[in-house]
Amino acid sequence: MRSAVSLRGVSFGYQPGRYVLRDVDFEVETGGYTAVIGPNGGGKSTLLKIMLGLLEPWTGTVEVLGLPPARARHRIGYVPQASGAVLDFPVSALDVVMMGLPGGRSTKRARSAALSTMERLGIAGLSGMHAGSLSGGQRQRAFIARALVGSPEILLLDEPAASVDPEGQESFYELMAELNRTVTIVMVTHDVGAVSNHVKTIACLSTVMVSHGESLETEAVARAYGCSVDLVSHGTPHRVLGKHEGRGGND
């Protein structure tokens, strides 16, 4: 089966000589559902931007849907990491969802596509609401609707559950499972405990790919947990990296 996402030997940094990703292999099969976990600054958001073709790796190859990522971008839905920016300008929830369409314009067709996506996510009733007055969970669904409105084959989400209250989490994971029937999902998250019950594979990234495997395999899950346990016990990503210097650490 062809992979939806395939990275081979990818290295990248924002400054010369400072690796953010080092020799990373990463594979998501079509229909897959993968969580990417790891310490702060481990390169998770950077990895998503490389899959979107927004950043060009120093070395290695990236294929998305069998194509160079920039050419596949219109077939990828992306929910960026919440910036904390206030949605203070006068846009409705419906406007936010329509931004996910090429041109982002408020044509009749765009409106009806946006509305039916919002219906699917159970937020059609919010369409006229000022985007800035949505709750965390409602805003999250509006951003997911924006990512889905163009009918992508792959959905990339960067810490989507961060701003959702605990009661909202379970219905969020139910929604993801339902979407995963038709869309390949890659989700960056801190919430290892929650995701390990839901996703099909887990990748633990700390500049190097520490582990990458089926979430149901206890050993892989344990090692994945180890990745975040290390973070708690040692404090800094560099100490975590120290353990893996055999495969290439930073600095």
Ligand X SMILES: Nc1ncnc2c1ncn2[C@@H]1O[C@H](COP(=O)(O)OP(=O)(O)O)[C@@H](O)[C@H]1O
> Which residues are near Mg ion by CB under 5 A?
44-45, 81
Give min distance, CB of 36 to ligand X, in A. 8
Q: At what angle do helices 136-148 and 108-120 cross, to 10 degrees?
A: 130
Give which of 7, 156, 6, 142 is closest to 75, Cα–Cα.
156
Site for ligand X in 1-20 (CB under 6 A): 14, 20
Alpha helices, H only, 132-165 = 136-148
Does residue 57 belong to the site contacting ligand X (CB under 6 A)?
no
40 makes contact, choosing from Mg ion, ligand X, none, with CB < 5 to 8 Å by partner type, with ligand X
Among 46, 211, 215, 228, binds ligand X (CB under 6 A): 46
Cβ atoms 150, 115 nearer than 8 A: no
126 makes contact, choosing from ligand X, Mg ion, none, with CB < 5 to 8 Å by partner type, with none
Give min distance, CB of 190 to ligand X, in A. 9
Give which of 142, 150, 96 is closest to 123, Cα–Cα.
142
Does residue 34 belong to the site contacting ligand X (CB under 6 A)?
no
Does residue 89 belong to the site contacting ligand X (CB under 6 A)?
no
DSSP per-residue letters across 35-97 = EEE--TTSSHHHHHHHHTTSS--SEEEEEETTB-HHHHGGGEEEEPPP------SS-BHHHHH
Residue 51 or 97 with smaller CB distance to ligand X: 51
Residue 54 or 70 with smaller CB distance to ligand X: 54
Residues that bind ligand X (CB under 6 A): 14, 20, 38, 40-46
